[in-house]
Amino acid sequence: MSAEALKRIDHLARALKAPRIQEAAGRLAEQARDAGWDHEEYLAAVLDREVAARDASGSEMRIRAAGFPTRKTIEDYVFDHQPALKRDTILHLAGGTFLANAENVVLLGPPGTGKTHLAIALGIRAAYLGHRVLFATATEWVTRLQGAHAAGRLNAELAKLRRYGLIVVDEVGYIPFEQDAANLFFQLVSSRYEHASLILTSNLSFARWGDVFGDQVVAAAMIDRIVHHAEVVTLKGSSYRLRNTEIETLPSVRAENAADYNHSN
C-alpha cells in the first residue's frame, strides 16, 4: 500500500474517530494480497477489527462502571468444591438468556460456597454481552434508595435503575432491615419485576427472609416477584476459604441448619 494511500486512510480514520481502521488497513493489506481477497473481503476484515476493538473497549467500560469489588470468572470457579452444582446450569446462565427475558438468578448457600464469585462472574459476562450492570450489597442498595427517598427523587432513581439490564444484590440477609428499609428494598424488586434482571445472593433460605425484612407479608410478596421468573441455585457444604484449616463448620451455618429444622417442625 502506498504512503499516499496510508496517509489518506489515516485522515479518514481520524475523521470517523476509528483509529483501529488505520492500524488494521496497513497490516491486512499484505495479507489480503497474498490470500487473493477481493475488495469486499478486505473491507470486511478491516471493519471487523474496528468493531471488535470497540466492543472490547465498551465491555471494559461497563465492567469498571458496574462497581464490582473484584473480578471473577466462571472459569475460575472451583466446581469440584460444589459437586451437586450443575456446571451446565451456570454455563447456560452465562449465555445471557435470562437477561433477554428479564429473569432473575438467586444464589443461596452458606458463607464461602462461591455465591458472590458466581454473581460477579455472571455480571461480568452480562457486561461483555452488552448489558449495563450495577453491583452492590443489599445494605448499600438500601442506603442508596434511602438517599434518593430523602431527596424526594425515589421514583426517578428507580426509573434510572430500571434502565440497567442487570442489578446484582449481594449479601441479602447478613444484616436485618428496619421496616422503612425493607419497604424500599421491596420497591426496588417490584420496579424491576418483568422489566429487568436481578442477581441476588443470600446465606439464608427463603423461609428466613421474613426475619431479615421484619415482615412476613413483605418478604412473601418480594420472594413471589423474585422467583416467578428465576433460576434458584442452592450451594451447599463448607466454606472454600476454610478448606485448609481445621474449622469444619461456621457458626452461621450451624444457626441456619438449626433454624431450618425449627421451621420444619
Sequence ranges of the domains in the chain: 3-58, 67-264
pLDDT of residue 2: 67
Q: How does residue 136 score in pLDDT terms, banded at 50, 70 and 90? A: very high
CATH match for 67-264 among 3.40.50.2300, 3.40.50.300, 3.80.10.10, 3.40.50.1950: 3.40.50.300
Express each pLDDT in 55-85 by its tens digit: 767 888 999 999 999 999 999 999 988 988 9
User: In the predicted model, is pLDDT for residue 7 greater than 50?
Assistant: yes
Q: How does residue 224 score in pLDDT terms, banded at 50, 70 and 90? A: very high
pLDDT of residue 263: 46
Parallel, antiparallel, or unpaired for β 197-202 and 166-172?
parallel
Task: Name the DSSP letter for residue 171.
Answer: E
For residue 244, what are the β-bridge partners?
none
Q: Check if the beta carbon of residue 109 is closer than 8 Å to that of residue 203.
A: yes
pLDDT of residue 13: 72
The amino acid present at 236, given as its one-letter code, is: K
Q: Check if the beta carbon of residue 165 is closer than 8 Å to that of residue 132.
A: yes
Sheet containing 230-234, strands listed edge to edge, beginning at the edge strand earlier in sequence: 133-137, 166-172, 197-202, 104-108, 230-234
pLDDT of residue 3: 72
The amino acid present at 30, given as its one-letter code, is: E
pLDDT of residue 249: 55
Express each pLDDT in 148-190 by its tens digit: 999 999 999 999 999 999 999 999 999 999 999 999 999 999 9
pLDDT of residue 252: 52
What is the rounded average pLDDT of the residues 3-9? 74
pLDDT of residue 5: 72
What is the rounded average pLDDT of the residues 37-62? 80
Of residues 192 and 20, more confidently modeled: 192
Taking the C-alpha atoms of residue 230 and residue 157, their distance in angstroms, rounded to an integer, is 24
Taking the C-alpha atoms of residue 123 and residue 133, their distance in angstroms, rounded to an integer, is 7
CA 250 to centroid of chain Cα atoms: 27
User: In the predicted model, is pLDDT for residue 145 greater than 90?
Assistant: yes
Taking the C-alpha atoms of residue 43 and residue 209, their distance in angstroms, rounded to an integer, is 57
The model's pTM is: 0.76
Express each pLDDT in 230-263 by its tens digit: 999 999 977 665 565 555 555 554 445 444 434 4
Q: Check if the beta carbon of residue 206 is closer than 8 Å to that of residue 82.
A: no
Q: How does residue 19 score in pLDDT terms, banded at 50, 70 and 90? A: confident
Q: Average per-residue pLDDT in the chain?
A: 87
User: In the predicted model, is pLDDT for residue 265 greater than 90?
Assistant: no
Taking the C-alpha atoms of residue 135 and residue 128, their distance in angstroms, rounded to an integer, is 15
Of residues 98 and 26, more confidently modeled: 98
